[in-house]
Amino acid sequence: MELKQAIEKAKQNNQMAFNFLLDTFWNDVYGFQLKRTENENDAEDITIQTFSKAFDKIHTYNPDYEFKTWLFTISKNIHIDLERKRKSSITNTTNKTDDPEYYDIIDESPSVEDELIIEQNLAKLLRDIKKLKPHYQEVINLRYFQELSYLEISDQLKEPINNVKVKLLRAKKLLAEIIKKK
């Protein structure tokens, strides 16, 4: 499949085109993020988010530009947003004295009420997950509840790793749609 043809088919929600684009550009985007983050897990998560966002917004892609450059831009922006979130959570310390070595660290551990809310939200999330097709339930369970790597999931399901990534991407999108409907 040619790149331009794959992009046009992807704009029509063709699954084979999405797989082709993912297979073609996965290593480039992952390598780009690995250099930026110097962390394999972060690079992989950002790469998945990149393809998720790119596939959601593929209709906005301008063919006057390189597709790979467009993906890198999306990837870079996701990384910048994540870094901003991390930095804002780190700055939750206050200096109470003139001594620059003394900091009062804000306790961010959840209260009893917070834990109850988290438990209730988890129960709702589990009910929503059960509304998904079984193969989507399985991949979400393996990744987020059993905390398996993509490679371990691939081995367990006996599927190529890129299929696992796409399946997880789709499962998260479908789950988000179910949650939004409420």
Fold exhibited by the domain 109-182:
Arc Repressor Mutant, subunit A (1.10.10)
What is the chain's percent helix, strand, coil content, to nearest 5? 75, 0, 25
Structure tokens at 61: 């892609």
Confidence band, pLDDT 50/70/90 cuts, at residue 104: low
Question: H or E segment at 93?
Answer: strand 93-94
What pLDDT digit, counting tens, does each position of 59-84 carry? 999 988 899 999 999 999 999 998 88
Q: Are 61 and 10 spatial neighbours (Cβ–Cβ below 8 Å)?
A: no
Domain boundaries, the chain: 1-107, 109-182
Model confidence pTM above 0.75: no
Provide the percentage of residues in the chain whose pLDDT is more than 70: 89
What pLDDT digit, counting tens, does each position of 18-54 carry? 989 999 999 999 999 999 999 888 898 999 999 989 9
Confidence band, pLDDT 50/70/90 cuts, at residue 101: low
Structure tokens at 89: 């959570």
Position with higher pLDDT, 103 vs 141: 141
Structure tokens at 105: 């660290």
C-alpha span between 136 and 129 (Å, rounded): 8
**CATH class of the domain defined by 1-107:** mainly alpha
